Structure 1
Amino acid sequence: MSAVREFVVEADGGSRGNPGPAGYGSVVIDAATGETLVEAAEYIGIATNNVAEYRGLVAGLRAAHALDPAAPVHVRMDSKLVVEQMSGRWKIKHPDMKPLAAEAASIYPPGQVTYEWMPREQNKHADRLANEAMDAGKRGEKWSPSTSTADLDTGTGSRATREPGDAAAGAAKARAALAGGSARRGAAEPPRSAGLKAAADARAARNVAQAPTVGWGGADLGTPATFVLLRHGDTPLTPEKRFSGSGGSDPALTGAGRAQAERAAVALAARGTIQAVVSSPLIRCMETARTVADRLGLDVTIEDGLRETDFGAWEGLTFAEVQERHPDDLTAWLSSTDVRPTGGGESFDEVTHRVTAARDKLLAAYAGRTVLVVTHVTPIKTLVRLALGAPPESVFRMELSSASVSVVAYYADGNPSVRLLNDTAHLR
């Protein structure tokens, strides 16, 4: 009795413009040997990153099914969105993705396909195929192995579709299956063996060896956790520069603020890198976060530690009004980060303690992933200050505009890297 074969499908998709000229790439790998069995890629015209990624998944699953419909399949992708949605943990909200997800789910019976997220740098093979397909589309050509120029990053043999022994006809069948549908079957779920894990470990080891180094050191630190820090859009208090913290009226966005959030959503969708959205519990941040999350097809997670400072009796006042009414308290507050505003608000030291705890919680939850963190002026300044190792009074020397974007990456050795501060290009 022959052993049950197992496949690993690696898939990716990309769009140059999001939406823009798009293509996908897929590879089917023998889980026991690590051999590449089928490569597939296609230019699909104008589409988004997410649609291209789903198209790559469908193509890879159809190719694997044509090789052996009884084989268990382990899908590896760098799209957290696709992996979480196909695993049933995230809802599918975008109308362009719902039919593609349904098509992918129909190729195999429930339970026969498992999903795993992997860092982008480990998905080089499928990523390269997707880019080759887009390049071919730009030339007005159809992708085929003969149009490729680079050697394989993983697997063995030539760039053409491969299948060992007399099973080459199976590979041809897999290629043909990419052009048509594949009916859902009712076979019993086959068990997974250790072959999947062994092949995945071998590929991960190869990719670690190829990964670029970070900073001056020679060690590979892996994919950092990256916080894309988005300040909320305008509220009625923002243009007048009034103190607006967590102890005030909790204002909502204005029409201008909603427009800023929409522009930020478009720009962040074009990046194609956001894998999760986390927000302060205050209304202005939740509205901003939901605007972006809806465009990305993600849900919003609330983190209380990201709320703005409680400015006590200063809530709703301008700086000039506070200076007139509470001059001594304001002078003391500006002189030391351990001084609270009038009326029992929070000191900046207290906010730092709270934000640090929230940061550490998010780093543990989103290791190696890119997270949109929608919050306020003080938490963003605090995260940047801590990443730079700057003194506490540096929070008074940063400017953060409404709906601006800042970025901090956190590496495995504990060293952060500030990559962007107060970017507002998307608003112009």
Structure 2
Amino acid sequence: MARTFKLTADGGSRGNPGPAGYGAVVTENGKIVAELFDVIGVATNNVAEYSGLLAGLTHIHSLDPAAEVEVAMDSKLVVEQMSGRWQIKHADMRVLAKQCRDAHPASLVKYSWIPRDENSHADRLANKALDGGQADSPAIAIQENYLTDRLRGNEDPTMIYFVRHGETILTPLRKFSGTGPLNPELTEEGLAQAATVAQEIAKIKPDVLIASPLQRTRQTAEAIAATTGLPIVFDEIWYELSFGSWDGLTNDEVREKFPDEYQDWLNSSAYAPGGGESYDQARIRIEAAMEK
């Protein structure tokens, strides 16, 4: 029976074009087989995405030339082009697509699109490469399990619980709601949600309560403070992602008004809307907050 591998891949360019890198994760039966990441010089987001796919398929072919492969990526462009549903007009893209098809039999590879948040592992590896963490070899051993090490040791673990704020007027409308001037309050439903989650958090008996100063997170934190008796530590570092000029717009409105920018945003976590913040920038901010 043929082996089946799952491949998630991502790539990013800081500048588009700019310094670029890729990340890819190969799994078999739910277990990580390889983590792949490297820089590729100055390139576009799309070239970086294709490079991640190529690295993953090449590695899988070295493991089993007859293996079936399920590829999942958050780049709609790569998925549709490699599936044959979209034409490949750019010459460089055609070359990369051919290299990917040649890397492993195309008949054994299936492609599907996934949301960006389901591709965070490959995205993290791509950023690791861009941050100077590229390895001597493309194939990286499974990383150390730090949680297991802590359980074996005497260190008291710190457990962090993340609580999403309750519903605002923008939530059911599915509008972008970041750190812009709208700063909506919780609806009646949102206040009820905050009260419910506050009861659950009280059961955990937390030691510290930290919140973003935005109105919706402030109100949610106040409900938790009421059930736990904890003072609220407001810290702007925990602000929601800034969507800039997209704030208050729906997905459809952004797609209509900013079609090229919206596609770039879908294709890369390094892209920031006008006047806003990229997911990569937010990640760096939150990682710094976690170290506090």
Give the TM interval when normalised to the shorter protein.
Answer: 0.5 to 0.7
Q: Which residue of 2 aligns with 1:414?
A: none
Of residues 120, 126, 132, the one that matches 1:124 is 120
- Aligned residues, how many? 176
Provide Cα deviations, 1:45-77, integer angstroms capped at 9, x if missing partner. Answer: 111110000000000000111011111000010
Match of 1:84?
A: 80
What's 1:74 paired with? 70
Q: Which runs of 4+ in 1 moved over 6 A?
A: 221-225
Alignment pair present for 1:60 and 2:68:
no
- 1:47 aligns with one of 27, 39, 43: 43
TM-score in terms of structure 1 length: 0.36
Q: 1:38 to 1:274 in 2, by over 3 A?
A: closer
Question: 1:226 maps to what in 2?
Answer: 251
Return the offset for 1:145.
Answer: 8.4
CA distance in 2, matches of 1:77, 1:23: 15
CA distance in structure 1 between the aligned counterparts of 2:89 and 2:55, rounded to whole angstroms = 22
Secondary structure, counterpart of 1:111 in structure 2: helix
| Structure 1 residue 25 corresponds to structure 2 residue 50 | no
2: CA distance between counterparts of 1:98 and 1:223?
36
| Distance (whole Å) between structure 2 residues aligned to residue 52 and residue 8 of structure 1 | 19
Larger Rg: 1
Within 5 Å, which residues of 2 pair with 1:170-189? none
In the other structure, the counterpart of 1:10 is 8
User: Secondary structure, in 3 states, of the residue corresponding to 1:96?
Assistant: helix
How far off its partner does 1:131 sit?
A: 0.2
Partner of 2:195: none
Q: Which runs of 5+ in 1 are unaligned?
A: 149-156, 161-211, 233-263, 276-404, 406-428
Match of 1:143 among 135, 145, 151: 135
Alignment partner, residue 143 of structure 2: 159
- 1:276-425 alignment runs, 5 A limit: none
Structure-2 change in CA distance of 1:229 and 1:59 (3 Å): closer
Q: Deviations over 1:138-167 (max 9, x none)?
A: xxxx43589x9xxxxxxxx8428xxxxxxx
Question: Secondary structure of 2:95's match?
Answer: helix
**1:304-362: CA deviation from partner (whole Å, max 9, x where unpaired):** xxxxxxxxxxxxxxxxxxxxxxxxxxxxxxxxxxxxxxxxxxxxxxxxxxxxxxxxxxx
Work out whether residues 145 and 159 of structure 1, in 8 Å CA contact, stay in contact via their aligned partners in 2. no
Deviation per CA, 1:366-401: give whole Å up to 9, x if none: xxxxxxxxxxxxxxxxxxxxxxxxxxxxxxxxxxxx
Residue of structure 2 aligned with 1:105, choices 97, 101, 104: 101
Aligned-residue CA RMSD (Å): 3.7
Q: Secondary structure at the match of 2:88?
A: coil
Structure-to-structure mapping, 1:231-310, within 5 angstroms:
231=257, 265=260, 268=261, 272-274=264-266
Cα distance change, pair 88–135 in 1 and its aligned pair in 2 (3 A): same
**Deviation, structure 1 residue 114:** 0.1
Cα distance between partner residues in 1 of 2:66 and 2:175: 35
Query: Could you say what secondary structure the match of 2:6 adopts?
Result: strand
Instruction: Look up the match of 1:298.
Output: none
Question: Equivalent residue for 2:166?
Answer: 216
Structure 2-normalised TM-score? 0.52
Shift of 1:5: 1.2
Please list every run of 5 or more consecutive structure 2 residues that lacks an aligned counterpart in the other structure.
145-161, 177-249, 268-273, 275-292
